[in-house]
Amino acid sequence: MLENELSKPAKIAIAGCLLVMLPFVVVAVLRNAAQGVVPRPWAFLIVLAGFACFMFPKFSVIRNKRLISFGTRLMTQDQANSYRLGYWLMGVGLLSTFL
- The predicted structure's pLDDT at residue 45: 92
pTM of the model: 0.67
Is the Cα dihedral 69, 22, 85, 99 positive or negative? positive
* Average pLDDT of span 35-51: 88
pLDDT, average across residues 29-56: 87
pLDDT score for 50: 92
Q: What is the mean pLDDT of residues 17-29?
A: 86
66 compared with 19, residue with greater pLDDT: 19
Provide the mean pLDDT of the chain: 84
2 pLDDT band, cuts 50/70/90, is low
Question: Is the pLDDT assigned to residue 96 strictly greater than 70?
Answer: yes
- Amino acid (1-letter code) at residue 1: M
Question: What DSSP string runs through the chain?
Answer: --TTSPPHHHHHHHHHHHHHHHHHHHHHHHHHHHHT--S-GGGHHHHHHHHHHHHHHHHHHHHHT-SS--SSTTS-HHHHHHHHHHHHHHHHHHHHHH-
Separate counts of helices (H) and strands (E) for the chain: 3, 0
pLDDT at position 23 over 80: yes
